[in-house]
Structure 1
């Protein structure tokens, strides 16, 4: 507890800097809560960028400092930074850097480095159940990136075409592997994205499309060594390895690293009183999408934003409806046979903990790791994500009731385990692996939360959260939390 208080007290001297830098903002938040059954309910821990309370009775302090770009005038060059630290105390204690980065803007370009709270993909970022590639479910991977963070309309095309994107390199750290002449690699992270918008900024109709691509890689020479992989020792140079990673080139019948991403499409239409956003994310990992074998899988969303000014005491601001389907994966009995077999989302034959960072899934939280589900459900031993075949319905709502702000997420899912625990078994080409570890039963799950807050005075907000898990996938639990936040 002393460590937590000491770290948060470090923010106090920074308050004096606010007079010199008007775009400096500070925040201090205290939380107290309780969760039952030694669990943190689903919507109290999911998509929180790693800022999660301890189970049981606990207290938390969150300190933050942020320097934003100067928006009062147009600058060719500007800079910013952000720092957020969370300390938890309860059955145990921990101190976590939730965010810490610096950024430099030159025209439309931005250079940024550190741990960043961000998501990747086309969706309603406020209420979504989670993007496929990067949902904000885990802590951000430390990285350095160059980006065009906002859609830039191309002048010579009449501002009808706009684009944004990023190119990043990150450091995951030591990662357990289950193959080759080592049990641990120093893993690096590659990320890039490109999204295009068709339609002028003032147009009612806008079309969106784009992709994102992420890779875990590193220490291949230790994995494919003479001892660990005697068919063909890894001999690519560092640049050749990076080239294979960036372009997804094949080496020895497989890609270098663990590749994952989504191809996204959507449209936005401005009605008189409502803005409509509709989108779909299509997933790719080991190659099934190239054969359209998993094309039926995807995240589908419809978001409605209320544009109408109202004096009513109760009003809605945003509604979201999402449907998630990940059950096919190109592994069904009727699916087209592909060399890579079923996609087995988020699992990887090399990386023991799959698509995770510090043992927490980087993508959509509906795909469950073995540490989050009930004991006793059948699991395939090599799978870290033991439930990736999911059908889920998700509703989100944001609004107000008088002086209170209200936000709610309600989700219902049917869960089918993995193909390794299905009657079909895992597939690789025409090869089927029998499900000798049991058949995962169809398992229903409901998770919901309500967040209510009210501004007591300028910069001072009181809020509370109630959350519930009920079903057969997760342990049943309830959680309550009160918070008091002050911004300076």
Structure 2
């Protein structure tokens, strides 16, 4: 059934080219390559923020193919956008992955889609970032039904001085290691002050995610309602507005807390445009409950600066197109809050949950920042044996106490050769380290060079990455790929 669906999708996408050639456009590409490293673990920056498509172990070779079709391209008319992408990885562990399979209906400033789509959420950089705090593009996209605006929409009667961007989604986690058949609730709202043509704009937003419903694989006493987690429409309304449920049919866990695993971020940003550089300053403040919303965990969060070169590339020598600098800290968690507040608030266990013990992950990849580390990815010599036993049916996220310094750079050499690099240094303080380790330092690096061959319609990519530190194996890896755009 899976292979039949893929064949049907790609046949439909290609058929869209001939159904109405004047209004429709279809694109199709094929890419093949391979990855090898000195350790069996794939280097951090080769696998992170790749939408769950890169295996955690190597060596492997891959073939990736994708297509998309646009049905209706007139600006103010309805449009249907079909996308599909499939990746086959063959190596130490082989897999076939479908990271993109979606149908999107668009009309003017609004859209709705069903399926999987590569997405980033949160105010900040998406090109060279370490990853947005709560939803970074690190995991395989979750299948969803989604409605929302297409970018920022002007508030009526404000002459575009005020604008908003909003989304609302329902998704399916399916069966994961800890819970079967549970759901995702997702919504976001961001506002903008200032016209797009102004030099200065201010942004403010809120992102809210909930894991909810489903049946636990290993039932936990005291956190169940009739052998499963609440999943009725009434329960959905409670979790949508983040209200604790009322009534005697709920477990003590749900009445004391809320239905499901809630998390998200409060986003702030400031942009400034000038003749040489476009500047974006941003902050994503994490929350898991009311304590985070009250900023009792300050200064935790992601802080970033993005500089985009406003000058065009002359094609001579080195041209820097973008620089990104970021700092992430999650060391406080609300533990330093005023004692008077402890009667009302609890510290935040970022990405971890007593019911959904595979935590904020999907198909073994962390959904949010990749600098929160799973036990399976860490140097096993660091972990206390008691925690290994706990993980036989327990928490995936072993490290959610991180201080990160990150830099990214992108540009061109000459007229056509593009390059990018990422440099990350982190201090890590997992709760379950052996006593002899107070922290683990980690340095990860990546450099990518892309060489287009326009005469043949080809694009070659060469990437080198290495890890050095205590958290991961010392590792040097390379990736090489060739991409062909067929039409």
TM-score of the superposition, structure 1-length normalised?
A: 0.87
Deviations 1:57-98 (A, max 9, x none): 321100001124755x32331110110000011224211101
Residue 252 of structure 2 is matched in structure 1 by none
| 8 Å contact kept, 2:269–2:281 | yes
| 8 Å contact kept, 2:120–2:136 | yes
Residue 198 of structure 1 is matched in structure 2 by 193
Residue 328 of structure 2 is matched in structure 1 by 324
1:397 to 392, 399, 409: 409
The alpha-carbon distance between structure 1 residues 471 and 160, as it changes in their structure 2 partners (threshold 3 A), is same
Taking the aligned partners of 2:224 and 2:475, their CA distance within structure 1 comes to 49
CA RMSD of aligned residues (A): 2.9
2:397 to 385, 394, 399: 385
Residue 30 of structure 2 is matched in structure 1 by 28
| 8 Å contact kept, 2:70–2:79 | no
Taking the aligned partners of 1:439 and 1:155, their CA distance within structure 2 comes to 61
| 8 Å contact kept, 1:175–1:351 | no
Pairing of 1:222-237 with structure 2 (within 5 A): 228=222
SS in 1 for 2:238: helix
| 8 Å contact kept, 1:417–1:440 | no
| 8 Å contact kept, 1:54–1:88 | no
Pairing of 1:19-98 with structure 2 (within 5 A): 19=18, 20-21=20-21, 22-53=24-55, 55-68=57-70, 71=73, 73-98=74-99
The alpha-carbon distance between structure 1 residues 290 and 208, as it changes in their structure 2 partners (threshold 3 A), is closer
Aligned residues: 461
The alpha-carbon distance between structure 1 residues 194 and 474, as it changes in their structure 2 partners (threshold 3 A), is same
Taking the aligned partners of 1:442 and 1:221, their CA distance within structure 2 comes to 33
Residue 313 of structure 1 is matched in structure 2 by 317
**1:196 Cα offset (Å):** 0.7
Q: Where does structure 1 lack aligned partners over 5 or more consecutive residues? A: 178-183, 422-436
The alpha-carbon distance between structure 1 residues 12 and 29, as it changes in their structure 2 partners (threshold 3 A), is farther
Deviations 1:114-147 (A, max 9, x none): 0111011111011110111110000011100111
Pairing of 1:113-262 with structure 2 (within 5 A): 113-177=114-178, 184-219=179-214, 228=222, 238-251=232-245, 252-262=255-265
Say whether residues 1:297 and 2:307 are aligned partners.
Answer: no
Q: Which moved more, 1:62-71 or 1:96-105?
A: 62-71
Deviations 1:200-259 (A, max 9, x none): 12111111110110000004799999x755999999782220111101111311100000
Taking the aligned partners of 2:239 and 2:17, their CA distance within structure 1 comes to 43
| 8 Å contact kept, 1:28–1:63 | yes
TM-score of the superposition, structure 2-length normalised?
A: 0.88
2:430 to 402, 417, 430: 417
Deviations 1:422-475 (A, max 9, x none): xxxxxxxxxxxxxxx747521110001011001101642111111101100011
| 8 Å contact kept, 1:465–1:482 | yes
| 8 Å contact kept, 1:288–1:342 | yes
Residue 344 of structure 1 is matched in structure 2 by 349
Taking the aligned partners of 1:171 and 1:11, their CA distance within structure 2 comes to 23
**1:338 Cα offset (Å):** 5.2
Q: Which moved more, 1:343-352 or 1:333-342?
A: 333-342
Residue 433 of structure 1 is matched in structure 2 by none
| 8 Å contact kept, 2:72–2:78 | no
Residue 428 of structure 1 is matched in structure 2 by none
Taking the aligned partners of 1:147 and 1:96, their CA distance within structure 2 comes to 27
SS in 1 for 2:157: helix
Residue 432 of structure 1 is matched in structure 2 by none
Q: Where does structure 2 lack aligned partners over 5 or more consecutive residues? A: 246-254
The alpha-carbon distance between structure 1 residues 235 and 477, as it changes in their structure 2 partners (threshold 3 A), is closer
2:279 to 259, 276, 279: 276
The alpha-carbon distance between structure 1 residues 243 and 14, as it changes in their structure 2 partners (threshold 3 A), is closer
